[in-house]
Amino acid sequence: MAILHGGQLSRVAKQYQIAEKDWLDLSTGIAPFSYPIPDIPQQAWQDLPTISDSLIEVAKAYYQTQYCWPVAGSQALIEKLPELWNQKNKYCQANVNNQLTVEKHAYLPKVGYKEHQQAWYKAGYQLHFYQDRLPTDIEKNSVVVVINPNNPLTDTFTIEQLKTLQNLCEQQQALLIIDEAFADIFTSEFSFSPHLSTLKQTADVLVLRSFGKFFGLAGLRIGFVCSNRTWCESIQESSGPWAVNGAALFISEQALQDKTWQVEQLKRLQQQSEAMQVLLKAHLSRSRIEANALFITVFLPDAPAIYQQLCENAIYVRLTDEKNALRFGLTEEANIARLNSVLASIV
């Protein structure tokens, strides 16, 4: 079953019979300020894409890790991980001789990016859910997914909490996946990537990093995975020779080493998030509001009704899967007045 995400404006525009050009799209957590596209050499378009040593070195420095590899967006890897983990743990698969099937288990946040659930469910895993506290009791050879920060809840876990979980996963020979799609808005100390080098080289820990959200270029479809050498080589082999296009490789290499722009981007995002929080609190004062520098989630009992009213006024936000909250992506300053006017008229 396909999962509905933000960003599918054409579907919503058709549903409400309002031309796409007339909408204010706040449905994603993608930065509204994009990294300026540099002049892309003709070679990046003409030649088959090559993942250069220089890109890997730049990415390793940015993520502060010893091993990393680019993928065609973290979503592509999320879909592939069950197959890779099953190959690594063949004893978890069905025994053809006696028809005995060993149960496979995955532990995931109950509220979070649903594609993780979808991938492991389709692979035949029994799903277990947690939320505020990380799992403390897991099955052998299982999988644990952490979304840090959580999307859409904004909740975070500390390095100490993640290290405790990693020790548990190591004891149980389990795979730990830490999805840090929105981690760029935090200081480098927030990420688990720098701690990978302190683990045993046999540790099954993957840190997924998105590029498009913070840099505002989701259409490039590039992300990075940080892990140990064995996992990086496995992911590289499974991805094939030309998984990421040449323009994405070129642009991401420039962006990841542009420290000046990164500092300015974070400042812009923080200022815009604070301005939107003030606006939302003024109109939705009785609601609980959680926020970070890329999106704001408003929990309210009549979320579906407010969502519909916003859509009727050509403002598209993300109604959460649980139907109890609205997630607002950031927008440029010029659009704040429009959002303010619509909210004033409907609530």
Please report, for the chain, the start and end positions of each structural domain, with discontinuous segments joined by +. Answer: 9-30+260-346, 49-257
User: Largest Cα–Cα distance of the chain, in whole Å?
Assistant: 67
Instruction: Note down pLDDT in tens along the chain; length 347 residues.
Output: 556 677 889 999 999 999 999 999 999 999 999 999 999 999 999 999 999 999 999 999 999 999 999 999 999 999 999 999 999 886 444 444 454 557 899 999 999 999 999 999 999 999 999 999 999 999 999 999 999 999 999 999 999 999 999 999 999 999 999 999 999 999 999 999 999 999 998 999 999 999 999 999 999 999 999 999 999 999 999 998 999 999 999 999 999 999 999 999 999 999 999 999 999 999 998 899 999 999 999 999 999 999 999 999 999 999 999 999 999 999 999 999 999 999 999 87
Which pTM value belongs to this model?
A: 0.95
pLDDT of amino acid 254: 98
Give pLDDT, residue 2: 59
pLDDT at 92: 45
**What is the per-residue pLDDT for 3?**
66
Q: Which CATH fold topology does 49-257 show?
A: Aspartate Aminotransferase; domain 2 (3.40.640)
Report the C-alpha gap between 165 and 108 in whole angstroms. Answer: 13
CATH superfamily of 9-30+260-346: Aspartate Aminotransferase, domain 1 (3.90.1150.10)
